[in-house]
Structure 1
């Protein structure tokens, strides 16, 4: 015995140009019928929240699936799976496609070579699926865009829920972020963590979908932009603060990656204000607000800006 609910969508060519579209969503539980063997022309993320079963890959290898887990069904790859008749399972699935799937695969969010992925939990993924299900109401004029946006959220939630990562992400990335502004080479960063440069590159590529150099560069340039936009520090001083002893090299790097020179970026932002800069992340449930009458927001207790 099993229960199922599903909806399917046909986004227009215009919606496909958004890069990622949702083709369908479903919620099922119980002793579901066996799926396949079959091959699809699009991606499907199958999130198993409870129960257990099996998955047979294209080489014929049969793997045990124990919740919480994710099944990646990728275009052109044969798959075959089913539930344990003694337990059944609870699943939610989302069908999707679009050119953005290639980038998500390159970044490691979609893993064609890893069709069965253990998860730490499914709460975030189920919340994203729930948004797709709610958007699927008949006559919703925002259907294609709303469901497409939720697929992006789903991919992020599934990446965050991987059981091989801690709740705060990969410890190698945390350590790199902590040391990002120190003028260290990739080899020196690796040595700090007892790794070879090759091992560090492999770890960062798997966790962040990019090289250590690009990962560090993103953090450094993000901080440089903040300092350019919110302070009057000289470019040379900002370069040193984000890990570059040579201001000319920093300016060339910034210009090449950002598309505009540091000074020009500062002119475009024009946000240096007398109130200063805060490193405190606003609380999503209690964001800073203008209280009325055009007055500046009042700082909460313990909150201060750097003048």
Structure 2
């Protein structure tokens, strides 16, 4: 898409930017497609509680983190971890971007280890037209699936709960496709994860409820605890136990939405020592306690921009 010569930031667009400068709730799935003018900028010093996936389709943007600057151009995929400060916006007069705020599915964690351009921010540049076309198509479909959920201000609110749930899952499938396209592109250029790191990721992803410890996982990988901790953090971008915690919380969120198990039963099922500890960690991660999350999950939340 070429830069429109007569692009102007009208009042409606400015209101939209001001609205989205607010922090999205961690549990909410938010997607968007922006054609942004030169005055577009978002600053969130504390980041947000969700993952943020951003793709530049045309024009130029930039992401600042401390003294580091990353210029964003056609083909650039950026993945920002929860809690990473946000300071991004248009460079020049125009920037077209697709994006989504989301909480990852359990099985995605081995795909989230993209190269870090700066702390908390991963980056891949897609160079093949087959890859960039696929990502734009995936974002276009996931955004339309989100619109069909009927939960945007202009959407169809007549859909029943099942159809909204299906639309939410299709939206997540689109995000998964974008991530996998970036991973596949990357793996053509660099080596796979260290086999020992991959083994540990498979073990904790397959059964996060097990009483995993650094000692037991190091024994599985047949390396020292310190060596495994260093390798894992270097290649995945987070500590082993933080990933285990995230996987357990993700599984807890799934059970809250899909079952009528009590919080105590879910805590035991996903590997927490007590329901109180689950509630504390869950609220910190998702911004709401488990019971509130259960109520909201019965009516899926999507926002479109």
With normalisation by structure 1, the TM-score equals: 0.44
The structure with the greater share of residues assigned to helix is: 2
Q: Which has the larger radius of gyration?
A: 1
